[in-house]
Amino acid sequence: MTSKRILQIIPSLDRAGAEKQLALLVQGLPRNEFDVHVCALTCGGPLCSELEQANIPVHILGKRWQIDPITAWKLHRLLYHLRPDLVHTWMFTANSYGRALAVFSGAENIVASEQCAGYWTGKYALALDRYLARWTDKIIVNSQGVYDFYATRGIDTAKLELIANGLPEYAPSRLTRRELLSDLSLPPDSKLVAAIGRLCPRKRIRDAIWAAELLKAIRDDVHILIIGDGPQRYQLERFCNNIEILDRVHFLGPRNDVDQILAHLDVLWLASSHEGVPDIIMESMAAGVPVVATDIPGNRELVKHNTTGYLFPVGDRAALASWTNHLLDNPEQSQDMGKAGSAALKNKYPVETLVQRYATVYRQLLQ
């Protein structure tokens, strides 16, 4: 049987939600059936070497501007050279550039993955989404909330396919808590809270910083780890400096050892205004960490209020600080919530199912 060539297009290969799902997918697809190439529009990242070690070709185009005709030309040349049987795009930038160039290049099969409800993109972006959906064979969403968002905004539901994210099997940390605290130069009695993800507006990291200031006013043992990078990093660091909280809020930047840190957290924070099904919540719950997150559809599908963590209204910094303080003051309840979260996810999101579901979509389109 001749393998079918699939070109996956994504903005970057940072270690973030959609990027990790793409990496899990392409490494799991049967090589005798699918010849997979990955294109990162802007830059590589830590997942780039992982894919290359798995002998998956990676093409990096170096996109620099929001509208970049040079990148568009490079992508057109790549499509012409590879002549893929199917083009699969991920996230808004790649869904725009990738689908438009795939149509222009005459691609016969186009799939798009939407990993987040697009409330933040604005009416023009949604209009572009609806327009490009005409030439898209399947639009994969990762949660009921994202499905409902696009179904109520003019996207043909016959094209929508809900495929849940995959969660790799949890592996205990090789670090002890004492070793981690020593590496971070933090006191041995520190309580660790983390906000992990891209530092961009919809993640609302500023809310987390305000909550950290509230916690600092009532206790002296909490340290907030902000892990990730993004366009707001400089502004957020300056904000922390202005309110004199850099002794409690620590910007660790992008890290490849998040899995080693998770198990030692006391609480995970997610203050986002919009999400799909966040990988970081899944990974934290699998590690037995209670979660305090915004009460939005994607988070609500994972976190059960007062059972595996707490949910709070978007922007309610006092509630974020209050629920966190409650968990830190009640370690037995916190431990029970962590165990409940781990049990709730056990065997629920196998990577094998993710790969099988996507492979089925590909086969249906390519037959």
pLDDT, one tens digit for every residue, the chain (367 residues) = 579 999 999 999 888 888 999 999 999 999 999 999 999 998 888 889 899 999 999 999 988 888 889 999 999 999 999 999 999 999 888 998 899 999 998 999 999 998 887 655 567 778 888 889 899 999 999 988 889 988 988 888 999 999 999 998 888 889 899 999 999 999 999 999 999 998 989 899 999 999 999 999 999 999 999 999 989 999 999 999 999 999 999 999 988 889 899 999 999 999 999 888 899 999 999 999 999 999 998 899 999 999 999 999 999 999 999 999 999 999 999 999 999 999 998 888 999 999 999 999 999 999 8
Report residue 33: phi and psi, to 5°: -110, -30
- 171 is a domain residue: no
Looking at the fold, whether 64 and 208 belong to one and the same domain comes out as no
161 and 215 share a domain?
A: no
Q: What are phi and psi of 205, to 5 degrees?
A: -65, -30
Q: Cα(286)–Cα(346) distance, rounded to whole angstroms?
A: 7
Beta carbons of 108 and 136 less than 8 angstroms apart: no
Number of domains in the chain: 2
Domain hosting residue 95, numbered range: 4-166+350-366
354 lies in the same domain as 296:
no
Distance between CA atoms of residues 223 and 187, nearest Å: 10
Q: Is 239 exposed, middle or buried (0-12, 13-18, 19+ CB in 10 A)?
A: middle
Rounding to the nearest 10 degrees, give the CA dihedral for residues 211, 230, 148, 113. Answer: -150
145, part of any domain: yes
> Can you tell me whether residue 86 is helix, strand or coil?
strand
Q: Quick one: 152 and 197 in the same domain? A: no
**Domain-located, residue 136:** yes
pLDDT for 118 equals 62
- Other beta carbons within 10 Å of 124: 8
Per-residue pLDDT tens digits for 98-137: 999 999 989 999 999 988 876 555 677 788 888 898 999 9
Q: Within a domain: residue 172? A: no
Q: What number of other Cβ atoms are within 10 A of residue 297's Cβ?
A: 18
Question: Are 257 and 153 in the same domain?
Answer: no
Residues 338, 204 within the same domain: yes
Based on the domain organization, do 131 and 62 belong to the same domain?
A: yes
Residues 186 and 155 both lie in one domain: no
* Residues 102 and 194 occupy one common structural domain: no
Q: Is residue 75 part of a domain?
A: yes
Tell me what pLDDT residue 172 has: 86
Q: Write the CATH number for 29.
A: 3.40.50.2000
**Could you tell me if 187 and 136 lie in one domain?**
no
Same domain, yes or no, for 320 and 239? Answer: yes
Is 240 within a domain?
yes
Residue 358 and residue 322 in one domain:
no
Q: Is 51 among the domain residues?
A: yes
